[in-house]
Amino acid sequence: SQTIHQWPATLVQPVGSPLSLECTVEGTSNPNLYWYRQAAGRGLQLLFYSVGIGQISSEVPQNLSASRPQDRQFILSSKKLLLSDSGFYLCATPRLSSYNEQFFGPGTRLTVL
Amino acid sequence: SQKIEQNSEALNIQEGKTATLTCNYTNYSPAYLQWYRQDPGRGPVFLLLIRENEKEKRKERLKVTFDTTLKQSLFHITASQPADSATYLCALGRKVYGGSQGNLIFGKGTKLSVKP
């Protein structure tokens, strides 16, 4: 069955520091992968999606970037964090049994101080 | 621009009553609409999907309606229980041809509290 791992689970970082969040998926091959952010008082916002290795599409311009070095690995990065980057970051992939359904990982809570 | 609104940030009801949550959208023609449940500190979990040509969908105590003329979906939980307390998100999906599935647009969610 499909499983999504995200780490770290929580992170507290100072403004201006770099960021690397990792997502790995099991139980599926060549999945579409998504990074979402959920900030306080805001809806779930799609940041990036990837349809294959090395293929990244950005939905929202910002100081974040994403990479997909392996089929089931998706990484979210930043060179310099801003206060506004605080939020709950979720990795997702379509459910194999129902392709329109998004299957979410456990998330990473990022606090930028 | 595309906009999706859920009627209220919070909804408090008594156990046993029916909870009704609303999702409205503008400047969008979705192919389908979904509802998710999200518990604190966790990722959303899919509940129901309803397509543009469907008016109503049911799953156990859950019922979803979809009115593309009003651009509105209603989400009902009948015989509500304290365990139903969570944030409920609606999401719109568009027709996608080839390539990138998904690209859902999510609402901010409604936090439902069911009191015993």
Joined together, the tokens standing for residue A45 give 């916002």
Domain boundaries, chain B: 3-115
Q: What confidence score (pLDDT) does residue A29 get? A: 86
How many Cα atoms occupy the beta-carbon half-sphere of B46 within 13 Å?
Answer: 20
pLDDT tens-digit series, residues A62-104:
899 999 999 999 999 999 999 999 999 999 998 887 778 899 9
Note whether B101 contacts A92, CB cutoff 8 Å: no
Instruction: Count Cβ–Cβ pairs < 8 Å, chain A vs chain B.
Output: 65
- pLDDT-derived band at B96 (thresholds 50, 70, 90) equals low
Answer whether A88's CB lies under 8 Å from A21's CB.
Answer: no
Q: Decide if pLDDT at B74 tops 90.
A: yes
At residue B102, the pLDDT reads: 54
CB B102 to CB A95 under 8 A? no
Which residue did the predictor score with more confidence, B109 or B8? Answer: B109
- pLDDT bin (cut points 50, 70, 90) of residue B100 is very low
The pLDDT of residue B98 is 43
3-state secondary structure of A27: coil
Q: Average pLDDT of A28-53? A: 90
Inter-CA distances, B77 with A48, B42, B73, B107, B109, Å: 33, 21, 13, 18, 15
Residues B62, B48: Cα–Cα separation, whole Å: 8
CATH of domain B3-115: 2.60.40.10
Residue B109: other Cβ atoms inside 10 A: 24
Type of residue at A78? S
E strand spans, chain A: 3-7, 10-13, 19-26, 33-38, 44-52, 55-58, 64-70, 73-78, 87-95, 98-104, 108-112
Computed over every residue of chain B, the mean pLDDT equals 90
- In the prediction, which pLDDT does A47 show? 93
Give the CA diameter of chain B.
Answer: 48
What is the average pLDDT across A5-24? Answer: 97
- Chain B CB contacts of A49 under 8 Å are 100, 102-103
> Domains in chain A, please, with CATH?
3-112 (2.60.40.10)
